[in-house]
Amino acid sequence: METLIGSANSLPTLAVGVAAESRREEEAGLFAGRYQLRRVLGRGGMGTVYLADDEFQGERVALKVLDASVARNPGARERFAREARLARRITHRNVARVFELGSAQGRAFLTLEYVEGEDLRARLMREGALKPEVAARLALAVCAGLGAAHAASVVHRDLKPANVMLERGGRVVLTDFGIARAMEDQGSEGLTHSHGVVGTPQYMAPEQLTESPVDARTDVYAVGLLLHEMLVGAPAFEATTLKEAYARLRQPPPDPREHARVPAALAELVMRCLARAPEERPSGATEVARCLEAWLAQC
């Protein structure tokens, strides 16, 4: 689900009660006349994601429904619609497909590909550090999906383990483009301005914290964080608040080379991705992918 700083607990008590009642109504029957809700997959600051059966198409989907209380906010509705518009630009096996954007019962919704498996966060919590070859291959798949997004002029801006799905068949799928931004739309709305910092503090790039323009290199920074966590078995930063995250503007990132089990080439790639200045990082996901492929070819 989308993470918008400060929004998760901002609804008044009455609104929360209305939202809960609406959820009970949704979960009781057929939503929008065609979606049979099976169970809740997750909840966030803006809405709820359900596992649902599309009775019209005869397939299982993830149904993301905007909370009624949030739906009354024009800005929230626009962000929700933008998620679908931007995700539709991207066609790639490593990016979850968006099927439909609509409205029913006064609620905006979208349906997207349901990925059966677990997210990377769950795997890391269970296994800790992954074998370097496994980590490199997962990062390579992430870069493939990001490369397609960047080619479509879309920056994810909230890449983190919870948004990387690991399908049971082995496919890696990027999800939740809820705060993605079109590169050509920089500064067109208030998301990256004062009181509009968006993202997850633990995985935000320095330019997000300073509300500077973002581009493909912002996602490269997040790839560096993912690769560090997979190789070391712990996040590079433990920040859970914006105040804690600002410390990385003054302090260098932890060096994976301090861990003997981390191959030197991968550790150096992580440090390049985590450079404070975007111009010192790889130019995009495609360049990171080439580095990973070169290392894997030598294994």
Give the catalytic positions in this structure.
158
CA distance 178 to 197: 14
CA distance 25 to 54: 18
CA distance 125 to 237: 16
Measuring CA to CA, how many Å separate 30 from each of 24, 25, 285?
A: 12, 10, 41
Q: Count of CB atoms within 10 A of residue 296's CB?
A: 13
Instruction: Pinpoint the alpha helices (H) of 57-185.
Output: 68-71, 74-88, 120-127, 132-151
Asked if 159 and 174 touch (Cβ cutoff 8 Å), the reply is yes
**What is the DSSP track for 259-274?**
STTS-HHHHHHHHHHT
In DSSP terms, 198 is beta-bridged to 4
Phi first, then psi: give them for residue 43, nearest 5 degrees.
-130, 150
Q: Which amino acid is at 93?
A: R
Tell how far CA 235 is from the center of its chain.
16
